[in-house]
Amino acid sequence: MVPCVAYGPRRASVLLRSHMTAAAGQSLAVWADRARATLRADVWTYIAAGAEEGCTALANVEDWRSIQLKPHVLNDVASIETDTEFLARRVTLPIGVAPTGRHMLIHRCGESATADGAAQAGAPFILSYFSTQTLEDVARAAAPGIRWLQLPMGLEEAVADDMISRAGAAKFDAIVVTVDQPVAGFSPAAARAPVSVADEIRHVHVPGTPRAVIAFDPTFDARLSFAMDRTIDDLSALTARSTLPIVVKGILRADDALRCVEAGAAALIVSNHGGRHLDGAVSSARALPEVIHAVSGLVEVYVDGGIRWGTDVLRALAMGARGVFVGRPPLWGLAAEGRDGVRSVMEQLGAELRTAMALCGTPRLRDLSPDMLAAT
């Protein structure tokens, strides 16, 4: 492995202290505050809102915190390595950007800025089907990096196949299929602050390129993405047709994980959609161990939902996740500083992860294991 950080023993402690100082001065909470001050109130609510009372959105954050760490001591941590592989492609950080839609509501440069900032930080990026810029435009505008394309399960076969073909031509590496939203959830907070969408901001991948209203909006056409009659057979058919690996997003149960693997999934993402649709769903932190145990190394498992610190990343990797994705934090960076804000947010999480690894006596990702987590 090529180390991402390789310091001589005399400098290691000084530089790791500098990482901790940076974390204290510009935590993700600071980015959230800056984004809230920058954005219109309706757009901020769109980003922040959870379903119903927001219990699952809150649990996503709090449940990572509830897992206590059992660090090793007296191990050589002068060189910290954070590189790994996502679907056989080398990445320098096991932290990527989760799919979120409508980035031109947040910044005029939209998804191109998000993808570019992620690539500059060495972070994989998942482009949402509900992007406001085409996948081809994003690929041209952003620095080279790992990019996956997210599609909803409810797309018509011809639309899905066309998107997969375009993604392959644009050098995307995988397709992420979201399976946990057969209907839209309800958010009272979002309903009280409907998002005003300018006519020029469009869902550019959706047939007819409709105005980019959000799923909580009563004018959103559910036929664009939702299909209540989709089953595991449809997933099997999609994996059989696809020229790119299929990653299934929205898994919270062992039995569903195994069914998706049997249907041809190349990887799974444990996720409850950021707590945005089913309030009361189990948090990602609590669902992850069950899914990891069920698939037992058959496919790579990732997780998103509530990750706000490098220590949260470390907890997920210690459970057995190959990597994590974050959704709201990159949007905070995008709102505050555009591309550079996205890059800074992802670099911040990477710095915090390296500090956490050093403090836990684990210089390589392969040193992380479940026995580092206290039983609850």
The highest-confidence range among 18-32, 48-62, 186-200, by mean pLDDT, is 48-62
**Confidence check: pLDDT of 2 > 90:** no
**Confidence check: pLDDT of 143 > 80:** yes
pLDDT tens digits for range 180-221:
987 777 778 877 778 888 999 999 999 989 988 877 776 665
pLDDT band of residue 13 (cuts 50, 70, 90) is very low
Residues 134 and 205: beta-carbon distance below 8 Å: yes
Residues 284 and 270: beta-carbon distance below 8 Å: yes
Location of structure tokens 């995307």: 172
Tell me the average pLDDT of the chain: 90
pLDDT at 225: 60
pTM: 0.91
CATH number of 5-367: 3.20.20.70
Q: Running DSSP on this structure, what letter comes out for residue 370? A: G
Active site residue 19: no
Domain boundaries, the chain: 5-367
Spatial CA neighbour of 25 closest among 335, 356, 344: 344
Residues 130 and 357: their CA atoms lie apart, in Å, by: 36
- Active-site entry in 107, 205, 273, 277: 273
